[in-house]
Amino acid sequence: MSSSARSSRKKPKVGLFVTCLIDAMRPSAGMAALTLLEAAGCEVIVPESQSCCGQPAWNSGDKAAARAVAIPYLDSFDDCDYVVVPSGSCAGMLAHHLVELFEDAPDLRHRQQALAIAAKSHELTSFLVDVLGVTSVPGQIKGRVAYHDSCSSLREMKVKDQPRQLLKAAGAQVVDLDQADTCCGFGGTFSVKYGDISGAMVDGKAQDVEAQHPDLLVAGDMGCLMNIAGRLSRRGSPIAVRHVAEVLAGEMTAPPIGAGSINSDTNGSDKK
């Protein structure tokens, strides 16, 4: 590490917050995020002390449980310049809710660490564009690509143009959904606690996606992706679904999310 540390002194040091869903459900998206950050000239570490950001407990109104989940990673990013998250929703948790979660924590250090993490946390595509000024990406893609805005990306992290710019830089023809700023109905535990409502919402989203006839649907949040891909699959739609990082990094060897291996060549790049 010492030799590379010298050569990378000017490199921004980024801690990647992988998110529990990507770790468990879609490792390719995490690896793609790593590729993108390294291609943009960052030194990246991935602390083993992370599991989940704590959002499921926080949003359930269980502060104690949320703190228990967050404490292990609180000091893991101390020597990072930035914390980057390939999810708008988990980035929102770190950047906007962690401080409130720990504002009356008995251990003062936890309050300070929460403040420090909040100040340097970014959603992946907005970090690339807004912080690093990235204008080109390793990936290349042709065809119609629909980008789904997750609510937390859009409203908490102010992510809107950044992923679209990068997709265009990769060669995509980016198409917008009619109801682009309407929630897909995932909402974490909401999707199983209120399956009727969630099902109605995701059906609306799936129809909105289908209406644009994209070759590929991408988003920056695994929760939305699992939700929409699941509904598209149920509707028998041929539209492929991927995490935006996979497309931007050009790492599309894994089959699309929820697509059978039969379609594993359906990566959206060569479809007419």
Partner 1 sequence: MEVSSQKFNDHVHQAVDDANLKGAMGKLTGALRPNRARAVAGLPEFDDYRDHGIAIKMHTLDHIDRYLEEFETNVVANGGHVHWCADEDSARETILGLCRQYDVKTVTKGKSMVTEELGLNAFLDQHGILPLETDLGEYIIQLRGESPSHIIAPATHLQRHDIAQTFRDAHDHLDPNRPMDTAESLTEEARQELREKYGAADAGITGANFMIAETGSTIIVTNEGNGDLTQTLAKTHIVVASMEKILPTMDDAGVMLRLLARSATGQDMSVYTTLSSGPRRPGDLDGPDSFHVVIVDNGRSTMLAGSEREMLRCLRCSACLNHCPVYASIGGHAYGWVYSGPMGKVLTPSLVGLEQTKDLPNASTFCGKCQEVCPMRIPLPKLMRNLRAKQTEQKITPLKQRVLLALWSSLASRPRFYRFVTGMMTGALARMAGPKRVFTWLPFLGNWVQSRDFVAPEGGSFFDRYRASSSPSSSKGEAHD
Per CB under 8 A, contacts with partner 1 among 89-128 are: none
User: Could you give the CA distance from residue 73 to residue 92 in angstroms, rounded to a whole number?
Assistant: 16
Ranges within 213-232 binding partner 1 (CB under 8 A): 226-227, 229-231
* Interaction of residue 160 with partner 1, rule CB under 8 A: no
Locate tokens 């028998």: which residue? 236
- Which residue among 126, 152, 266, 269 contacts partner 1 (CB under 8 A)? 152
Here's the x/- map for partner 1, 168-197, by CB under 8 A: it reads as: -----------x-xxx-xxxx-xxxxxxxx
> CA separation (Å) from 204 to 139, 144, 170, 200, 201?
30, 20, 29, 6, 5
Judged by CB under 8 A, the stretch of 66-74, 102-110, 114-122, 167-175 that binds partner 1 is 66-74
* Interaction of residue 61 with partner 1, rule CB under 8 A: yes
* Interaction of residue 66 with partner 1, rule CB under 8 A: yes
The CA-based diameter of the chain, rounded to the nearest angstrom, is 58
* Interaction of residue 212 with partner 1, rule CB under 8 A: no
3-class SS of residue 204: helix
* Interaction of residue 45 with partner 1, rule CB under 8 A: yes
- The alpha-carbon radius of gyration of the chain (Å, integer) is 18
- Which residue among 160, 204, 265, 271 contacts partner 1 (CB under 8 A)? 204
Strand residue runs (E) in 31-149 = 43-45, 82-85, 121-123, 144-148
Ranges within 242-261 binding partner 1 (CB under 8 A): 254-255, 257-261
* Interaction of residue 134 with partner 1, rule CB under 8 A: no
Contact 50, 97 (CB under 8 A): no
